[in-house]
């Protein structure tokens, strides 16, 4: 050692610039070696020196990384990887207080006692090492450096109230992950830093924090080892840690080492506790702030003078005790434990018979257990590696390739990637050992590529899991004075500062549901602040939008395109509904008022257009007295009134009044009084909405599909809904009220007392089968008697030998054939022109048609189907007239028919009124007994007889608006 060499201990608390001082001193010499406690810190220092001097003269040597240029002058290493005997001008060791560390302390103590530079030796660390360094290195000089900023204890604080630029410290992977997840939910995300991360992953995470992408850092105590971060506050989530053997509380000096990361340069920092950690004792907090700690008088030591004569002798030298009172024997380390495990193996013992073999075994045993697996499994891997090296001189390429290949996968979650990264670190360490592989550069590159790929994947997974970039960006911009930029595209998607945050549905912000409850508040606050100008722009566009862009739903909602912007509410009048708007409070009252005015204009115009006849009726000042009262009833019921509900009022209206009402399109039907124009689909849809609002219904009945004559009865619909829809319930189906009046017109000409059958026109206008029509008639108050009879077929014309056609006999039992059109009518089908739908199926009446029920003769078809041979060949003149030749074989064909009679009780019967209401059809009293084949029984002339037990009463003038006026006039004329 040169005589001018000096040993200097640069001691003091954190943030004193000790490491920076050491770098400056090393660069002042031609060569130098600096040892650092962590691979992460070594990479940071290496990058700093490369930035100053270039990569060609700077080497980086760690257990898993080796970058050694040919002209290396400066070596940056982990303490374990520091080269010995190089004769560098300067040797420096950082964090020298780790001499007291139970796991690695013996390595730092060895460097304190034996590592020296040719001209200068530096030891940087805590002031607690002053006494031990003075005792063990008497020639050492001391430089005391004071902290450049204050460190203040701020007590306990919840994570949710943690200020930005804070670091939360945990002492287990599970704790770190849990805290990071909580911060992501509440603060937008955090960077994660742990000693087990690769430098590439750690640097990516730190860069994310340093660049401001996230404002929080969650780390283990690895950040306490000289990592220079822009941290304002350090919070401890726990005050104890597992040291590899047991859980133990952290000493004040250990807490100070971590807390000292807060505040950089001349900027003061704070520290405290959070989560489940209890507040610090006043004495501990004061000691950390004043940097006053118990001196470290006991340092870990392990004998550096190893002897490799045999395995047993090596173990003996490793377990020797120190002869200095300040040194005590280190506890059994992982490398010594592995050596003892392999020493009992017979094959290993047989191979280790000389010094080089024992030395090789010791080098293999020093491979760290990065994987954290069991001691036995780790020893088994070391045994394989040793046998390869001892027998072959290197590890086989194919075997090493298989080990690396099965790790080279980037799928899986954080835990899976972390395990693979730990596994590849083993092979990265192995490939860094000189002479252990056939092609060192190749395998170092292969291991490095896999580690980098896994590191990038792990950084991506950590970011995906613990960083919500959207919330982070919004929070950061929310705290700044500049206004945030919000954009809304054509589909309503909202982006703030380029981050998707949700959709603008009309004038309400629909937040993206990908976030949690805590993020929702943050995102909504930031988004609504940025959206305030957008609400005004959208309100102006909406106010000027045409009515064609606005519509109402059948549940009373008001839509602008596909966005709900309000709903209808009850007003002072059924035809004057109010409007309730859907506008976020942040939009302001001006926007809400503008939207409300536009919607009110829309619905007022819509009502005025669709209910024009009804509004004109209500405004007709010429109507007075009873007419005005009846008009009010019509307006109140939105243009439809069941006649049974206003029967007395209708009777009180004279002809002049009725004429005045008819001028407004009012029709006095047998069952309903209505305005035909208001039965169209558009007014019907709006009428149901207005009626439901006026009734205060929670769920509105929907309007029926347009064009249907009959629809199924909805038993769950509120009372009166069918009438508002323009239908009248009749049994299982409801019939449109205008078509019901057409049917009533047809029924007036029928003998409802004696009985009648359905005509084709009746089936046609209802669009029903005969069975469905019978059910409908029963719903209207009729009785339907079902019967069968022989179906009369068209017969062949009997031609006598003279060629003159013979007329069929008019037997007493012959009947007019009834056209079967039931099969041609769809149930509830749409009938465009019911009166003409079956015109081709109805036999037209002619002057020659007999009126006694005998069917007319029908000419024979031009082409007669051929008759099978088995049908007897009977002369035509022998067949009975009116039968087909095969009638005796095929049998008579039957048909079903219904006879309808009025089945209601007198008008005063409440039950009868509920079932059908309205006026009874003509014919009074009970139907008479049935005659043969369903014909009504009467006198000899065939006319139905009428009986009455009531005395004759004075005749009243016939009301021309009475639905039976024509029939009554006919009866009067036939008296």
pLDDT at 810: 39
pLDDT at 809: 39
pLDDT at 212: 84
Report whether 273 contacts 257 (CB < 8 A): no
pLDDT above 90 (res 371): no
Residue pointed to by tokens 């302390």: 105
Range in 331-335, 398-402, 593-597 with the lowest mean pLDDT: 331-335
DSSP per-residue string spanning 448-505: HHHHHHHHHHHHHHHHHHHB-HHHHHHHHHHTSSSPPPEEE-TT-EEEETTEEEEEEE
Over pLDDT 70: what percentage of the chain? 78
The residues near 793 (Cβ < 8 Å, ≥ 6 apart) are 884, 893
Over pLDDT 90: what percentage of the chain? 47
Range in 171-180, 801-810, 814-823, 958-967 with the lowest mean pLDDT: 814-823
pLDDT at 522: 61
Q: pLDDT class for 469, splitting at 50, 70, 90?
A: low
| Gap between the Cα atoms of 579 and 569, Å rounded | 6
Q: pLDDT class for 391, splitting at 50, 70, 90?
A: very high
Comparing 866 with 684, the larger pLDDT belongs to 684
Give residue 758's region: left, alpha or beta (phi > 0; psi -120 to 50): beta
Give residue 55's region: left, alpha or beta (phi > 0; psi -120 to 50): alpha
Comparing 258 with 955, the larger pLDDT belongs to 258
Average pLDDT of 31-39? Answer: 93
pLDDT above 60 (res 937): no
Question: How many C-beta atoms surround the C-beta of residue 769 within 10 A?
Answer: 17
pLDDT at 279: 92
pLDDT at 928: 41
Average pLDDT of 858-870? Answer: 36
Q: pLDDT class for 4, splitting at 50, 70, 90?
A: low
pLDDT at 843: 32
Six token digits for residue 68: 């050694």
Question: How many C-beta atoms surround the C-beta of residue 148 within 10 A?
Answer: 16
Give residue 665's region: left, alpha or beta (phi > 0; psi -120 to 50): left
pLDDT above 90 (res 793): no
Please give the mean pLDDT across all residues of the chain.
Answer: 80
pLDDT at 1: 42
Task: Give helix 612-619 / helix 625-636 axis angle, nearest 10°.
Answer: 150
- Tell me how far CA of residue 955 lies from CA of 604, 636, 880, 907, in angstroms: 50, 36, 55, 19
According to DSSP H, which parts of 324-439 are helical?
334-343, 346-351, 355-365, 375-392, 397-405, 414-432
Range in 576-585, 795-804, 922-931 with the lowest mean pLDDT: 922-931
Average pLDDT of 435-442? Answer: 91
pLDDT at 614: 92
Comparing 406 with 969, the larger pLDDT belongs to 406
Listed residue (458, 551, 453) closest to 506, CA to CA: 551
CA 825 to chain centre: 48
Which residues are registered as beta bridge partners of 909? Answer: none
Residue pointed to by tokens 């990384």: 65
Average pLDDT of 816-832? Answer: 35
pLDDT above 70 (res 841): no
CA 721 to chain centre: 37
Residue pointed to by tokens 């080279």: 408
- Tell me how far CA of residue 907 lies from CA of 56, 205, 499, 778, in angstroms: 115, 90, 73, 17
Greatest CA separation found in the chain?
161
pLDDT at 69: 95
Six token digits for residue 257: 């080492």
Which residues are registered as beta bridge partners of 894? Answer: 790
Question: How many C-beta atoms surround the C-beta of residue 676 within 10 A?
Answer: 16
Listed residue (561, 602, 559) closest to 578, CA to CA: 602
Q: Which three-class secondary structure string do you get for 285-336? A: HHHHHHCCCCCCCCEEECCCCCCCCCHHHHHHHHCCCCCCCCEEECCCCHHH
pLDDT above 70 (res 65): yes
Buried b (16+ CB within 10 A) or exposed e, 124-141: bbbbbbbebbeebbeebe
Question: How many C-beta atoms surround the C-beta of residue 255 within 10 A?
Answer: 25
pLDDT above 80 (res 531): no
Average pLDDT of 689-707? Answer: 91
Listed residue (235, 230, 159, 214) closest to 463, CA to CA: 214
φ and ψ at residue 446, rounded to 5 degrees:
-60, -45
pLDDT above 90 (res 243): no
Residue pointed to by tokens 């950590």: 462
pLDDT above 80 (res 906): no
pLDDT at 844: 34
Report whether 672 contacts 725 (CB < 8 A): no
Q: pLDDT class for 475, splitting at 50, 70, 90?
A: low
Q: Which helix (H) or strand (E) holds 26?
A: helix 18-27
How many helices (H) and strands (E) the chain has is answered by 31, 34
Which residues are registered as beta bridge partners of 789? Answer: 895
pLDDT at 64: 81
pLDDT at 186: 80
pLDDT above 90 (res 889): no
Range in 66-70, 598-602, 905-909 with the lowest mean pLDDT: 905-909
Pairing mode of beta strands 32-36, 74-78: parallel
Report whether 11 contacts 143 (CB < 8 A): yes
| Gap between the Cα atoms of 691 and 701, Å rounded | 10
Helix, coil or strand: residue 779: helix
pLDDT at 28: 95
Which residues are registered as beta bridge partners of 125? Answer: 11
Average pLDDT of 35-44? Answer: 88
Comparing 837 with 704, the larger pLDDT belongs to 704
Comparing 498 with 456, the larger pLDDT belongs to 456
Tens digit of each residue's pLDDT (9 = 90 or more) over 946-975: 444 444 444 555 555 555 555 555 545 544
pLDDT above 50 (res 655): yes
Would you give the DSSP letter of residue 843? P
Six token digits for residue 935: 């014909």
pLDDT at 731: 86
| Gap between the Cα atoms of 706 and 685, Å rounded | 10
Helix, coil or strand: residue 611: coil
Contacts of the segment 131-137: beta carbons below 8 A, 24+ positions apart: 131/295, 131/296, 131/297, 132/99, 132/295, 132/296, 132/297, 132/299, 132/326, 133/9, 133/96, 135/326, 136/112, 136/299, 136/324, 136/326, 136/327, 137/7, 137/9, 137/112, 137/113
DSSP per-residue string spanning 689-744: HHHHHHHT-SSPPPPPPTTBSEEE--TTSPTTHHHHTTEEEETTEEEEHHHHHHHH
Comparing 381 with 503, the larger pLDDT belongs to 381
pLDDT at 895: 86
Q: pLDDT class for 272, splitting at 50, 70, 90?
A: very high
| Gap between the Cα atoms of 68 and 85, Å rounded | 17
pLDDT at 815: 36
Q: pLDDT class for 341, splitting at 50, 70, 90?
A: very high
């Amino acid at each position: 050692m040169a005589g001018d060499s000096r040993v200097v201990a640069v001691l003091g608390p954190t943030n004193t610039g000790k490491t920076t001082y050491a770098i400056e001193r090393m660069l002042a010499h031609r060569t130098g070696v600096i040892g650092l406690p962590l691979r992460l810190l070594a990479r940071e220092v290496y990058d700093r020196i490369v930035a100053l001097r270039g990569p060609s003269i700077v080497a980086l040597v760690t257990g898993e990384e080796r970058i050694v240029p040919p002209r290396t002058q400066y070596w940056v290493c982990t303490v374990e990887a520091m080269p010995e005997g190089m004769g560098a001008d300067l040797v420096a060791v950082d964090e020298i207080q780790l001499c007291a560390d139970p796991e690695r302390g013996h390595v730092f103590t060895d460097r304190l006692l034996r590592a020296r530079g040719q001209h200068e030796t530096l030891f940087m660390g805590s002031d607690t090492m002053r006494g031990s360094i003075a005792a063990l290195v008497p020639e050492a000089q001391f430089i005391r450096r004071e902290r450049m900023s204050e460190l203040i204890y701020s007590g306990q604080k919840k994570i949710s109230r943690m200020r930005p630029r804070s670091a939360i410290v945990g002492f287990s992977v599970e704790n770190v992950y849990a805290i990071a997840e909580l911060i992501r939910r509440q603060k937008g995300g955090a960077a994660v830093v742990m000693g087990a991360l690769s430098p590439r992953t750690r640097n990516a995470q730190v860069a994310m924090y340093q660049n401001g992408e996230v404002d929080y850092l969650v780390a283990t105590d690895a950040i306490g080892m000289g990592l220079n971060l822009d941290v304002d506050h350090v919070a401890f989530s726990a005050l104890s840690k597992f040291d590899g053997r047991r859980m133990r509380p952290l000493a004040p000096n250990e807490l100070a080492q971590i807390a000292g990361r807060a505040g950089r340069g001349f900027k003061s920092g704070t520290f405290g506790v959070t989560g489940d950690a209890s507040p610090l004792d006043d004495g501990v907090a004061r000691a950390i702030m004043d940097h006053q700690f118990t001196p470290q008088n006991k340092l870990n030591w392990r004998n550096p003078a190893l002897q490799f004569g045999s395995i047993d002798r090596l173990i003996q030298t490793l377990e020797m005790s120190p002869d200095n009172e300040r040194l005590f024997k280190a506890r059994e380390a992982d490398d010594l434990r592995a050596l003892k495990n392999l020493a009992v193996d017979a094959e290993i013992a047989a191979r280790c018979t000389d010094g080089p073999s024992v030395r090789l075994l010791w080098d293999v045993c020093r491979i760290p257990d990065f994987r954290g697996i069991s001691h036995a499994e780790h020893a088994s891997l070391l045994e394989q590696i040793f046998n390869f090296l001892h027998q072959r001189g290197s590890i086989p390429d194919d075997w090493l390739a298989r080990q690396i290949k099965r790790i080279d996968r980037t799928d899986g979650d954080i835990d899976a990637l972390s395990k693979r990264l730990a596994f590849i670190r083993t092979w990265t360490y192995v490939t860094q050992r000189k002479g252990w592989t056939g092609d060192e550069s190749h395998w170092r590159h292969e291991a490095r590529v896999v580690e980098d790929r896994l590191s990038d994947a792990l950084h991506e997974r950590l970011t995906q899991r613990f960083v919500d970039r959207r919330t982070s960006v919004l929070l950061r911009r929310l705290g700044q004075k500049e206004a945030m930029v919000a954009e809304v595209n054509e589909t309503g998607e909202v982006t703030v500062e380029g981050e998707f945050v949700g959709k603008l549905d009309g004038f309400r912000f629909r937040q993206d549901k990908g976030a949690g409850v805590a993020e929702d508040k943050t995102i909504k606050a930031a988004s609504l602040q940025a959206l305030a100008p957008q609400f005004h722009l959208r309100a102006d566009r909406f106010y000027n939008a045409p009515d064609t862009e606005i519509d109402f739903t059948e549940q009373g909602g008001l839509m602008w395109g596909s966005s709900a912007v309000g709903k209808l509410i009850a007003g002072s009048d059924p035809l004057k509904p109010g409007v309730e708007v859907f506008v976020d409070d942040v939009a302001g009252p001006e926007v809400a008022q503008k939207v409300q005015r536009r919607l009110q204009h829309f619905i007022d115009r819509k009502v005025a257009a669709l209910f024009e006849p009804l509004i004109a009726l209500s405004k007709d000042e010429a109507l007075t007295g009873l007419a005005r009262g009846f008009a009010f009833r019509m307006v109140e019921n939105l243009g439809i009134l069941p006649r049974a509900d206003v029967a007395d009022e209708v009777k009180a209206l004279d002809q002049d009044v009725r004429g005045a009402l008819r001028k407004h399109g009012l029709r006095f039907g047998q069952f309903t009084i209505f305005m035909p124009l208001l039965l169209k689909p558009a007014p019907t849809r709006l009428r149901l909405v207005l009626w439901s609002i006026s009734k205060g219904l929670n769920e509105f009945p929907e309007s029926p599909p347009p064009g249907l004559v009959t629809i199924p009865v909805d038993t769950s619909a509120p009372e009166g809904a069918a009438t508002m829809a323009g239908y009248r319930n009749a049994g299982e189906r409801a019939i449109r009220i205008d078509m019901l009046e057409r049917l009533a017109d047809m029924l007036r000409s029928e003998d409802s007392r004696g009985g009648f059958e359905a005509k084709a026109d009746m089936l046609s206008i209802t669009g029903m089968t005969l069975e469905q029509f019978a059910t409908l008639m029963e719903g209207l108050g009729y009785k339907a008697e079902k019967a069968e009879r022989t179906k009369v077929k068209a017969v062949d014309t009997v031609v006598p030998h003279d060629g003159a056609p013979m007329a069929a006999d008019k037997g007493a039992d012959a009947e007019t054939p009834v056209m079967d059109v039931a099969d041609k009518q769809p149930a509830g089908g749409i009938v465009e022109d019911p009166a003409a739908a079956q015109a081709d199926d109805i036999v037209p009446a002619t002057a020659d048609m007999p009126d006694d029920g005998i069917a007319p003769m029908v000419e024979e078809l031009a082409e007669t189907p051929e008759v099978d041979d088995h049908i007897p060949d009977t002369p035509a003149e022998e067949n009975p007239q009116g039968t087909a030749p095969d009638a005796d074989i095929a049998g008579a064909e039957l048909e079903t028919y219904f006879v309808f009679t009025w089945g209601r009780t007198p008008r005063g019967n409440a039950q009868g009124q509920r079932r059908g209401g309205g006026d009874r059809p003509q014919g009074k009293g009970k139907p008479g007994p049935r005659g043969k084949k369903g014909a009504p029984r009467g006198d000899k002339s065939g006319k139905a007889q009428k009986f009455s037990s009531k005395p004759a009463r004075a005749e009243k003038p016939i009301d021309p608006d009475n639905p039976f006026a024509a029939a009554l006039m006919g009866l009067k004329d036939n008296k």
